[in-house]
Amino acid sequence: MDNNIFEEMVRSWGSPIVPRQQVGKFSGGVLNPRTMANLDCLGVGPKNRFRIGSKVVYRTKDLAEWLAKRSSVN
């Protein structure tokens, strides 16, 4: 898999964090905040998520790496 697209996602985001509510925008509509919450609850979401106030956020790099690992080429 060509990971350049995931590196491009990180570069173009412009912030070191992605709020859970913005994962859809970050991923081009592929991810849904509710799905991310469910995956986090199951322990299979991106590593190193944390809270800022009441918001759950992900490190941009960790989210892109997690997405790359879940991707495949048919």
Residue ranges per structural domain of the chain: 4-69
- CA 10, 44, 51, 54 dihedral sign is positive
Residues 18-74: pLDDT tens digits? 999 999 999 999 999 999 999 999 999 999 999 999 999 999 999 999 999 998 754
- The CB-side HSE value for 30 (13 A sphere, CA atoms) comes to 11
**pTM score of the predicted model:** 0.89
